[in-house]
A and B are shown apart, each in its own frame.
Chain A
Amino acid sequence: MRKLTYPALLALLGAALLRITVGSEIYLRYVKESLHPLVMLSGAVLLGLGLTGLARELRALLRQPVHHYRRDEHGAYQVEAHAAEHDDEDEHGHSHGAGPRIAWLLGAPALALLLFAPPALGAYTANRDGAAATVELADYRELATGPVTPMSMSEFIGRSLHDSGSLTDRQVLLTGFVTKGGAGTDWHLNRLTVSCCAADARPLRVAIHGKEAPTLNSWVEVTGRWRFAQLDNRSPVPHLDVLEVRTVPAPRNPYADRAPVVALP
């Protein structure tokens, strides 16, 4: 029976990867969007590999006489014709063809994905220890004139650092999730940006003044004015005087720092 479990593990992991990529965007909680085809393809390959293995092992199991599977003290059956099938050696930690015992560990993430799919990183990661990622100088375009300018968090932080003149006397619209504030601020608006998978998430943060903090970890859109403050270049947290706060649903990709889309009236 043991040799059935290894192809079953492959199939389980394959099914888990398909579950988060086919007809679902759960994978965006864990990896960048461009990995989608790769994750989906590996899910299909693993499921196929696992099912093929299961079919083959089952067929072999059904074809063989029952006594072949009974353990023999002297290993007498091992030398019979079915040499390719005798891999029930796992009790000694040594396996042929089936798989090693450490493979069982793969069952944990597979089951986690299938059963409850852990949520995206959020307030805990963004808020620990107060460090915020910095934003390198980019080529900032002249901002369009209009009552309110939607902006990504990184652009807002980048402009606060390198081109704060472009922010004065201007209302901006930012989106992010809410965490508790530090000293002297009411609360923080945060984003996590990811380059490959959630393990490299870097927090972007803006300190918010002027409105009550919404529910922690909820997603909001804020409209406000940039407030002058000395920024630490290594860990910049610009300040924003907020005029309006609106709760919004979590974005499709929680780690993509994009400017909020404004519905035209």
Chain B
Amino acid sequence: MGTKQASPPRSRTRPAAEPLTEQTQSSSGWLFGLGCAVIVLAGTGLFGWSDAAVVGAWRTLLVSIVVQGVPFLLLGTVVSAAIGAFVPPSLFARILPKNPALAVPVAGVAGVVLPGCECASVPVAGSLMRRGVTPAAALAFLLSAPAVNPVVLVSTAIAFPGKPEMVAARLAASLITAITMGWLWIRFGKEEWLRLPKRPESHGTGGSRWEEFRRGMQHDFLHAGGFLVVGAMAAATFNVLVPPGVLAMFTDSPWLSVPLLALLAVLLSVCSEADAFVAASLTGFSPTARLAFMVVGPMVDMKLIALQSGAFGRAFPARFASTTFVVAILVSVLIGAVLL
């Protein structure tokens, strides 16, 4: 915005790359949503789901995921807008270790404080980056927060009664994956892979802090909310398309079952508070495969891919989410071998 004020005559010509990317992103979101709708409609026609029951189920699932996600997304955007409006950038510089390699594990463990599901962590990680937190640390936080917070650990303990090793394995594998991803980002990550959309920060004239807070929140929530709907459409589509019986075919092969359940976690996008119950119900599978389901789910799923491409640019999840997927599987297998 500052540049526009400085050079008004050129502001009509949109030379910058940034507006273009954001437009491509939102139109790709539209296309994706349209694609999902087409898949469902085509499925209705092709596979002979004669009545509209499948469409009805899809609609209910979509609405459910949005209703469930909105409170946590709102929490995330309140925290992120509060960080943007009220927390001075110097604060994080003081709290976090200067060395990024040390900041990563600290941020990963700090994920414990943000309760709730993964919808909240994306906007918060974005605002941390805007406040000068090194991206690697913010990304470690992004991955660990939905997986290691107390709410999720308690629900895991409830879902696996009498198996505290499952809770320990989930905590360990999630933290190790998050920290590994942070370190990988330090080693291989490039600044240009992250495209933080500009926020309506400091308008200079006449913007009180509260007005800044309100605008920040409105922008963040609407932006992330749109992507939440895209993710919900994708998840609802897979939910109605993937027949549960398909899974049973793979239960006997331990080598296939781990990546299969990890993939299922991505496609179904069950919220991290509930995924332990779903994992517990997948009784045919090895404990390691169920662990992989619970480690991958809060870190990579359709909802998160959509939210991340909204927050960090479309190119980001292609690299980051796919690497996280692989690392999470490897760590799960390792931890599963040690603890389960």
Contact = CB atoms under 8 A, between A and B. Distances in A.
B60 A196 contact: no
Interface in B239-268: 239, 243-248, 251, 268
Interface in A61-104: 73-76, 78-79, 81-84, 87, 89, 92-104
Contacts of A95: 219
Interface in A166-224: 194-200, 202
Contacts of B205: 81-84
B53 A124 contact: yes
Contact of B67 (A17, A93, A235): A17
- Does more than half of chain A's interface fall in helix, strand or loop, or is it mixed? helix
B60 A118 contact: yes
Residue among A106, A134, A200 with max Cβ neighbours from chain B (10 Å): A200
A64 to B, nearest CB: 13
A6 interface: yes
A84 B207 contact: yes
Interface residues of B, number: 89
A119 interface: yes
Contacts of B215: 97
Nearest to A30: B64
Interface residues of A, number: 78
Interface stretch (A41-49, A143-151, A242-250): A41-49
A111 to B, nearest CB: 11
B258 to A, nearest CB: 18
Residue among B4, B226, B227 with max Cβ neighbours from chain A (10 Å): B226
Interface of A: 6-7, 9-10, 13, 17, 20, 27, 29-31, 35, 38-39, 41-42, 45-46, 49, 52-53, 56, 73-76, 78-79, 81-84, 87, 89, 92-106, 108-109, 112-113, 118-121, 123-125, 128-131, 133-134, 136, 194-200, 202, 233-235
25 contacts: A31-B68, A35-B68, A53-B218, A78-B4, A83-B204, A94-B18, A95-B219, A96-B1, A97-B218, A100-B22, A102-B29, A102-B226, A103-B226, A106-B225, A118-B60, A119-B56, A120-B60, A196-B270, A198-B60, A198-B61, A199-B68, A199-B239, A200-B270, A200-B278, A234-B251
CB-based closest 10 A-B pairs: A93-B23, A196-B274, A102-B226, A94-B19, A103-B222, A197-B68, A97-B200, A198-B64, A124-B53, A195-B277
Given A196-B273, A234-B283, 4 more contacts: A30-B68, A35-B68, A75-B8, A195-B155
